[in-house]
Amino acid sequence: MSGASVPLAGPARLSATSRLEKSLWLPIAVVVVLTLFFSFATDSFASLRNFTAITGQAATLLIVCLGSTFVILMGSIDLSVGAIVLLVGAASVMALNAWHLSLAVIPLAALLGAILGSVNGLIYVRGRIPSFVVTLGTLSMFTGIALQILQGRAIEYDDNVFDQIAIGQLIHRLPNIALCAVVAWLVVVVVAARTRFGRYMYLIGGGEAVSRTSGVPVARYKVYAFTLSGLLAGVGAVLSVARLGAAGPSLGSDLLLNSLAAIVVGGTSLAGGTGGPHRTLIGVLIISILDNGLNLMGVSQYTQLVIKGAVVVAAVLVSQERVRTGVVK
């Protein structure tokens, strides 16, 4: 019996390696192709000034996506990230204006985001309600609270020190906001690869029933994942406020589509158990380059939505080749 299984090991490993290479190198190839295309299609794309603009735009998206990646990795979904960004952004501006907290508002924003994320996780776990339904409901709740705070208008802040998070450049041509995003990405990649939390996310996404049988405290780690998603959405919110100089009703409105698109395009499967935050960076680059390049070409916002939607569908079709099954849920 053991002798019969030995010949299968080589082809199995080869097949797994080829699937891994395909899922990793294809998004990288898309980044290269998009960069070359927009460099030839527009005069201003391949410039240092535009590099600064792209990295600044991508920073908030990357930070928000990092937390959402863990939720998707375990086979769930968080539709409320944009609403959390809006609510935390509105609360941050109010706190800046009322108490002049300056940089101290960052940990407070992270804490508020973590609380909102834990609310999602607790309702999901304790209520045994699908994460799609839970976060769809809290999306509406958080948005409503934020709009009540803002009263339908944009609120500016006045804090020169806080401004440096966005407009300052410790590294020439790299905004501080982008530097923060890179540091966050490195930390999260290490967490995913080297910690029990990261391993459990893959295990739960790969098979929740098996994880329970193996002794993994599934319910607790599901709450942890949503809490982390909310925490990073809170950080992304305060950085976005620093970049824009205000919080308005449209803050975070594009993050739901863009975050899901970046995570899926990067190679994290919606079925769970495959991918990770290291690939999310590639997806964020694709979405950010696509947005920037299409804007420089003068493509309308409506057409951009069509193109982004097509990119997401194409990415899911490609990823389905890795997880082809007889049943589609």
144-201 per-position pLDDT tens digit? 999 999 998 999 998 888 888 888 888 888 999 999 999 999 999 999 999 999 999 9
Look at residue 320 in the predicted model and tell me its pLDDT. Answer: 54
Rg (CA), the chain: 20
What percent of the chain is modeled with pLDDT above 90? 66
- What is the maximal distance between C-alpha atoms in the chain? 74
262 Rama sector, left if φ>0, alpha if ψ -120 to 50, beta otherwise: alpha
The tokens describing 142, both together, are: 């958080």
Distance CA 262, CA 72 (A): 12
> Does residue 248 form part of some domain?
yes
Residue 26: what pLDDT?
81
CB atoms within 10 A of CB 15: 10
Tell me if 273 is assigned to some domain: yes
Nearest to 271 by CA among 321, 176, 174, 206: 206
Q: Which of 200, 162, 205, 153 is nearest to 180 (CA)?
A: 162
> Is residue 301 exposed (0-12), middle (13-18) or buried (19+ Cβ within 10 Å)?
exposed
The CB density around residue 151, as the number of other CB atoms within 10 Å, is 9
Does 35 score more than 70 pLDDT? yes
| 156 strand-pairing partners | 246
Decide if pLDDT at 329 tops 50: no
Residue 22 lies in a domain: no
Comparing 329 with 43, the larger pLDDT belongs to: 43
Residue 88: CA count within 13 A, CB half-sphere: 35
Digit-coded pLDDT (tens) for 86-102 = 999 999 999 999 998 88
Q: What is the pLDDT of residues 248-263, one digit of tens each?
A: 999 998 898 899 989 9
Domain count, the chain: 1
Highest mean pLDDT among 51-55, 150-154, 221-225, 269-273: 221-225
Share of the chain above pLDDT 70, in %: 89
Q: How far apart are CA 192 and CA 214, in angstroms?
A: 19
The Cα-based distances of 181 to 62, 191, 232, 234, 290 in angstroms read 7, 15, 10, 13, 19
Is residue 15 situated within a structural domain? no
In whole angstroms, give the CA distance from residue 109 to residue 89. 8
Which residue type is seen at 198? Answer: G
Residue 125: inside a domain: yes
* Phi and psi angles of residue 156, each rounded to the nearest 5 degrees, phi first: -90, 165
Cross-strand pairs, 171: 174
Q: Residue 126: inside a domain, yes or no? A: yes
**How far is residue 68's CA from residue 257's CA, in Å, rounded to a whole number?**
12
Is 12 within the bounds of a domain? Answer: no
Q: How confident is the model at residue 25 (pLDDT cuts 50, 70, 90)?
A: confident
Q: Does residue 6 lie within any of the structural domains?
A: no
pLDDT of residue 139: 97
Domain encompassing residue 161: 27-320
Residue 178 belongs to domain with CATH number: 1.10.3470
Instruction: Please tell me the predicted confidence (pLDDT) of residue 125.
Output: 95
**Reported pTM:** 0.89
Residue 299 exposed, middle or buried by CB count within 10 Å (0-12, 13-18, 19+):
middle
pLDDT recorded at residue 162: 87
